[in-house]
């Protein structure tokens, strides 16, 4: 019988990460920490431990220390958050907005403490650059909503009243998200999303009453909506309430 020498198990192959891969690894580790803690509470040592590297290596890629790392991580998170508002122009506009908000609220849920600290400000690492990054997300979000309303770029740019209305709604979404976090993420995200879509429709209707451009947008939007979609369901709930206000109309309008 021929004996065969035991074959040692293959050794793990070490692969040196490229500069881009290493930077991405460090940013991912930092984002994981910033997501659930205020930025000024996270140390570079913790980032190094989370990434499985040494502190000097973190400094090699981010010589500006925590400030530079935070700004880079914030930029990466901003790109992810901006993508939440990107939706193909298919189907009723309010259903598209609902899908956008589902992704947005999921992001808020997964980055709760960091999201709250970022938008409330007051962090020792907050600078004009971080503020610019956050404002860029807000503007990009507003542009995407205007695109769903058929008023972004090309021959039909949004006028000042419509743009102001959409940006004020973005601010309301942001404020509601912070309140939602303060209240222990209640009500359910789906309920909050539905209310925010209703809020957008209500703002559009109120603005359309005095702005011809918004009135045209609402007219085009309603033509694409369905009875069982967000706009149709809101109309079913609101029309009986509005009917109770008939006595507020001028006598001639009421008789008509």
Angle between helix axes 93-110 and 160-182 (nearest 10 degrees) is: 40
List, for residues 3-22, the tens digit of each pLDDT value. Answer: 445 555 544 444 578 889 99
Q: What is the pLDDT of residues 207-248, one digit of tens each?
A: 999 999 999 999 999 999 999 999 999 999 999 988 898 888
**CA-wise closest residue to 117 among 66, 44, 178:** 178
Is there a contact between 186 and 117 (Cβ–Cβ < 8 Å)?
no
Span 114-141, average pLDDT: 75
The position carrying tokens 């001639």 is 252
DSSP string, 27-88: HHHHHHHHTTS-GGG--HHHHHHHHTS-HHHHHHH-TTTHHHHHHHHHHHHHHHHHHHT---
**Confidence at 125, pLDDT banded by 50, 70, 90:** low
Q: Which two tokens stand for residue 26?
A: 């460090």
Query: Which tens digit of pLDDT belongs to each residue from 69-121?
Result: 888 888 888 888 889 999 998 999 999 999 999 999 999 998 887 777 667 65
pLDDT at residue 126, as a whole number: 60
Please check whether residue 96 is in contact with residue 154, taking contact to mean a CB–CB distance below 8 angstroms: no
pLDDT of residue 99: 96
How many other CB atoms are there within 10 angstroms of residue 125's CB atom? 19
Residues 6+ apart with CB under 8 A from 123: 38, 39, 40, 117
The pLDDT > 70 percentage for the chain reads 87
Residues whose CB is less than 8 angstroms from the CB of residue 55 and which lie 6 or more positions away in sequence, other chains included = 44, 45, 48
Two tokens at 246?
A: 């008939």
CA distance 85 to 102: 10
Q: How far apart are CA 192 and CA 189, in angstroms?
A: 5
DSSP string over 130-192: HHHHHHHHHHHHHHHHHHHTT-SSTT-PPPHHHHHHHHHHHHHHHHHHHHHHHTTS-S-HHHH
For the ranges 101-115, 118-132, 188-202, the lowest mean pLDDT is seen at 118-132
More confident residue, 4 or 24: 24
Among candidates 240, 239, 235, which has minimal Cα distance to 218? 235
């Amino acid at each position: 019988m021929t004996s065969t020498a035991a074959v040692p198990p293959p050794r793990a192959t070490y692969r040196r990460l490229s500069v881009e891969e290493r930077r991405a690894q460090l940013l991912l580790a930092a984002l994981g920490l910033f997501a659930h803690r205020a930025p000024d509470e996270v140390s570079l040592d913790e980032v190094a431990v989370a990434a499985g590297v040494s502190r000097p290596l973190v400094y090699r890629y981010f010589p500006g220390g925590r400030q530079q790392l935070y700004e880079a991580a914030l930029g990466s998170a901003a790109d992810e958050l901006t993508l939440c508002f990107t939706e193909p122009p298919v189907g009723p506009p309010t259903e598209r907005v609902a899908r956008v908000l589902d992704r947005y609220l999921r992001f808020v849920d997964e980055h709760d403490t960091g999201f709250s600290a970022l938008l409330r400000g007051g962090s020792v690492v907050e600078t004009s650059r971080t503020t610019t990054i956050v404002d860029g997300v807000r503007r990009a979000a507003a542009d995407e909503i205007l695109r769903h309303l058929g008023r972004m770029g090309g021959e039909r740019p949004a006028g000042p009243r419509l743009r102001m209305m959409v940006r004020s709604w973005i601010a309301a979404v942001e404020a509601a998200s912070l309140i939602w976090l303060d209240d222990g993420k209640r009500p359910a995200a789906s309920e909050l999303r539905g209310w925010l879509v209703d809020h957008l429709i209500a703002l559009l209707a109120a603005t359309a009453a005095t702005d011809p451009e918004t009135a045209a947008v609402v007219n085009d939007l309603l033509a694409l909506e369905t009875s069982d979609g967000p706009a149709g369901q809101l109309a079913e709930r609101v029309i009986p309430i509005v009917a109770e206000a008939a006595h507020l109309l001028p006598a001639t309008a009421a008789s008509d």
